[in-house]
Structure 1
Amino acid sequence: MFCPNCGKKVETEYQNFCQYCGAKLQLGSEEPQAPVNTNTPTFTRNYSAGYVPRPVYPARSTPNTRTPQSYYSVPFQSLRRKKGEPGNFSKICFAIAFIAFLTSLFTFTFGSISVFYFAGPAVMFLVKVSIIIVLHITGFALGVISIGIKKTVERTEPINNYEQAGLVLGIFAIIFNVIGAISVVYGVIRWF
């Protein structure tokens, strides 16, 4: 069987498309057909919108056409990132995660613990609790931002210690801020 578009011999008679040019094959036609002249456009008819002639150029085969198997033949080693010097995003990731971690430690130790042992007017208590909650939310947001920046670092920079330390500190900041916020809410409930 031969392709009606490019004229090359098709490997099996049960193929739906030509492996060289991609043209649709008609099953059951075993006789060789003359190739279609690719210099003259053919016209199609669109019945839904009326007759609008438009040229349709058949696909041409090229010697550089890639087979589908070549897309999956990337070696696994080439997908791994190499170690290298930290870039700007790695340093920013680490700095934001470090600030988030310090915020979580500060609010967790001085804020959450002092809520349980507060002795003073209720107005001062509510102001202190509001500040602590805002700091916990800020620390949580900074931890999430540092992890988001880490995703950018994975795409743009080699593996480095700043990136890994930023990820660890960002995760700890998120955990400590959530625990701290829960303990503050528990302290407020206990106080009232």
Structure 2
Amino acid sequence: MMVNDFHISPKMEIYSCMVDLYSRAGMLDKAMALINKMPFPAGAIVWRTLLAASRVHRNVELGKLAAENLISLQPHDSAAYVLLSNLYAATGDWQERAKVRKLMDVRKVKKEIGYSWIEVKNKTYSFMAGDVSHPLSDSIYMKLEELSGRLKDAGYQPDTNYVLHDVEDEHKEAILSR
């Protein structure tokens, strides 16, 4: 349609968006069919999108395929390894998860620490999980504990599937709230 009606050839980003849309709708077969029909080889963004969707829908076979392609394109990008590891964790395959983590060690692939930013009154603040560098971190974490308790009282159950599998559930929840 884009080519015929508007004389526009879709680029990698459009294909990635379509793969994402199909994946969000649970249509992983259509997403893969689209990838196979692309007029050029799928790039890292397309494979990363499919890998993330495979984790959400717990499709190990498709996730492995996406990870293999992504790793062949970007062997030192931690995203493929982490997403595949999380897919194995979500499906309870701790042996395969451990193999992926070991492969990261062998290849010296490191997961970058995730930071968040917020701007308040034209000043930008950055922080990461477990960060205690703020002078009020003790009171901040006390408030977070209070809020976590209120959330649990209201029926909230944190998803602990992706937190260390050899840790008790209560400790997993503490890790998630930091």
Which has the bigger relative contact order, CA under 8 A and spacing at least 6?
1
Larger proportion of helix: 2
The structure richer in strand per residue is 2
TM-score of the aligned structures, taking structure 1 as reference length: 0.21
Scaled by the length of structure 2, the TM-score of the pair is: 0.23
